[in-house]
Structure 1
């Protein structure tokens, strides 16, 4: 009996040692025609018998062919990320991970670097997203109170169109893509972190926590402080914010994707109240001065256009306008995550006659537009957004597909060979 037991034990150990592949399947039946970032927990790979300390390769089984796929481990070391390309349309895709030496070289297209006070996320040496960590001051003759750091500008398409704008003369406090809170209360007193000209508060860069580049994404995480100038004799930090921005390589010449994830808490003894107001928090974006009422459109997940979208709620919104050479178009698809407060999320979209009838374009997901939000002391809160920056056009079906993959990671199941 002991011999039989020992024999079975040896066979089991040998089979465990020989188990060098983890087969899995991704169900993308609900995602029509878009590629999506997918994560696999390291624990599942270890449980399958692979040695994660050794080199690994990821292989996609497609039409009887085996194609190696680039992957990247996240900063925590708990997940492996890759992009599931829908080259066969919606459906199920089979993959395997195994120990072995990758034949795909490190991707030199995705990178991050600092230059003249900006941290730039680049693709093929093209800066696509720039985060400003040093102070930017307004033009000569304008009050220096409008100086700011901790914002994103420019956002540029792969085709070279700049879509954001900072310090427009009509609103010197507008800074590309940013998210200060507007009407807030601290100990019963109103403090405004948005309208810098009032001198009540601001949001500034504090430090970088990390940055990364690899075969699949390039990213950074920054700490920002929401500073109250009003309540005490000395400025005080009213909110501590961690901002993570991650740029994904979709393998397309006409579009890319990036995530904007904000986590924040208040160190104040009584916390802070975000009053209900049409501006504040979430993400706000002031678009290029080229876009006016006659060459810029809006379409939301609920079928609203630019004339009807303001104040409504949406899961996603496409803002699109004329390209810089006037021969085509470019734009951004904004996605709100289901975990966000008030999702589907309220929006602030400037009307067609904004700014003296020019119809300049401003977009914001605004989670406090209709209801106030009490931020309790020491408790963490978060908001998650994804943006697809594109040249050309993006269809309703594609927008919905991008949102579906953002809203819920596709199911990953164990697969047979």
Structure 2
């Protein structure tokens, strides 16, 4: 890592510590989930209750255990759930897709196939500080092809923490720890998407109203299947600047880092409402999970209003790495 990049990172750490002062962060629990508020405005909701599907849609698509809505500090909504083209898309989330368990094919992502699913379990921790809040929840990965007594294939503890940066930006840490309940272990099959962290963006963002850029300077139509340290999404919004977005940073300790990406191309869905992207650690090869071992995947997200330059994005990644110590 270059000295210049480290200095950029240190500057951003100092900026966070000073400019976030005075912004109050709090948690509020409701019948549907847990809300994170900054200065009394909800910016993030983690859904603990099962979200019902539209009338006439297969009820297997109903789901809990995801983030939606995700908002910027100005109130711009960045996520959507249950779009008509993919009813199993849920805001910000990361189920595994194809898995092999005791010779059976299980799918935790495509809910309509009824081979697997992921649901909220329980709240394990809630913590509030003056300018930071976090929750830890359990999420259950259910194998619907197994007997009722043995259908819990994986357990996961998801920690979500939030801290303001300034009046236009905040930090969201998304930390996953998971382990298999199968004595013989299980395999997360190689596939083009699944796991990691994914976002299905608001329906107003499409090819003409949003831009995608990666740490390797790849655009939307170049990013899919490439590897990256970070990926940035910016779209049109009601903010005074006309822009809002999200930067997703991959932890350098993550499996298969720098991680492969899944990004829908500009011509998907006719170019409208077609923003879907995320990190896919099993895109190039399968991942064997051994019984008795815990695994981690951690990400840092910068949610922002206004513009965010390539240099700023790189500096955020550098400060993230610096905060982790040696790796």
- TM-score interval (norm. to shorter): over 0.9
Correspondence for 1:171 among 66, 77, 86: 86
Name the structure 1 match of 2:156: 241
Conserved 8 A contact 1:353-1:359: no
Name the structure 2 match of 1:20: none
- Structure number, greater radius of gyration: 1
Conserved 8 A contact 2:188-2:286: yes
1:101-144 per-residue CA deviation (whole Å, 9 max, x = no partner) reads xxx9xx67210011231100110111111000011110111111
Higher relative contact order (CA 8 A, sep 6+): 2
Name the structure 1 match of 2:3: none
Matched, 1:354 2:287: no
Correspondence for 1:282 among 183, 190, 196: 196
Q: CA deviation at 1:357?
A: 4.0
Equivalent runs, 1:162-311 vs 2, <5 Å = 162-232=77-147, 236-250=151-165, 252-311=166-225
Name the structure 2 match of 1:314: 228
Conserved 8 A contact 1:352-1:359: no
1:296-328 per-residue CA deviation (whole Å, 9 max, x = no partner) reads 101111010011001000001110111146961
- The alignment's TM-score, normalised by the length of structure 2, stands at 0.93
Conserved 8 A contact 1:227-1:235: no
- Root mean square deviation of aligned Cα: 2.2
1:3-57 per-residue CA deviation (whole Å, 9 max, x = no partner) reads xxxxxxxxxxxxxxxxxxxxxxxxx6342642369xxxxxxxxxxxxxxxxxxxx
Write 1 or 2 for the structure with the bigger share of helix.
2
Q: Secondary structure of the residue that 1:405 maps to in structure 2?
A: helix
Conserved 8 A contact 1:118-1:131: yes
Q: Secondary structure of the residue that 1:84 maps to in structure 2?
A: helix
Using the alignment, how far apart are the partners of 2:273 and 2:44 within structure 1?
Answer: 25
- The alignment's TM-score, normalised by the length of structure 1, stands at 0.74
Matched, 1:34 2:12: yes
Q: Gapped runs of 5+ residues in structure 2?
A: 1-5
Closer, same or farther: CA 302–86 of 1 in aligned 2, 3 Å: farther
Q: CA deviation at 1:84?
A: 3.4
Q: CA deviation at 1:244?
A: 0.2
Closer, same or farther: CA 297–291 of 1 in aligned 2, 3 Å: same
Q: Secondary structure of the residue that 2:223 maps to in structure 1?
A: coil
Equivalent runs, 1:94-109 vs 2, <5 Å = 109=24
Name the structure 2 match of 1:156: 71
Closer, same or farther: CA 229–198 of 1 in aligned 2, 3 Å: same
Q: Secondary structure of the residue that 1:246 maps to in structure 2?
A: strand
Q: Gapped runs of 5+ residues in structure 1?
A: 1-27, 38-82, 88-103, 412-417
1:177-200 per-residue CA deviation (whole Å, 9 max, x = no partner) reads 111000100011110000000001
Q: CA deviation at 1:231?
A: 2.6
Using the alignment, how far apart are the partners of 1:410 and 1:272 within structure 2?
Answer: 30
| Number of equivalenced pairs | 322
